[in-house]
Amino acid sequence: MTIKKPPSPLTDATYEPFRKGGILHRIHNKGYGFAQFNPGKGRRTRFAPFYDISGNPIPSLYATSTLPSAIHETIFHDIPVNDKEKIIRGQNILNHIHAKFRVKRTLNLVGLRNPPLNKWGIKQTELIGSDAELYHKTALWAAAIYNNFPEADGLIWTSRQCDPDDAMLFFGGRVNEDDFELISSRDGADKSFKRDVRQEGKKRGITITT
Residue 87, class by beta-carbon neighbours within 10 Å (0-12 exposed, 13-18 middle, 19+ buried)? exposed
pTM: 0.94
Q: Which residues contact 199 (CB under 8 A, 6 or more apart)?
A: none
DSSP 117: G
pLDDT average, residue stretch 109-124: 95
| Contact assessment for residue 62 and residue 166, using Cβ atoms and an 8 Å cutoff | no
| Contact assessment for residue 68 and residue 162, using Cβ atoms and an 8 Å cutoff | yes
Comparing 93 with 83, the larger pLDDT belongs to 93
pLDDT average, residue stretch 150-164: 96
For the chain, which residues make up each domain, given as ranges? 15-208
DSSP 135: H
pLDDT for the residue numbered 7? 94
Residue 92 — very low, low, confident or very high, per pLDDT cuts 50/70/90?
confident
Residue 77 — very low, low, confident or very high, per pLDDT cuts 50/70/90?
confident
* pLDDT over 70 percentage in the chain: 98
**Could you tell me which residues are beta bridge partners of residue 180?**
103
pLDDT at 76 over 80: yes
pLDDT at 155 over 90: yes
Q: For the chain, what is the mean pLDDT?
A: 94
CATH of domain 15-208: 3.90.175
DSSP result, 27-93:
EEETTS-TTPPB-S-SS--SS-S-B-TTSPBPPEEEEESSHHHHHHHTTTTT--TT-SSEEE-HHHH
pLDDT at 158 over 90: yes
| Contact assessment for residue 108 and residue 175, using Cβ atoms and an 8 Å cutoff | no
pLDDT for the residue numbered 79? 81
Start-to-end CA distance of the chain, whole Å, equals 38
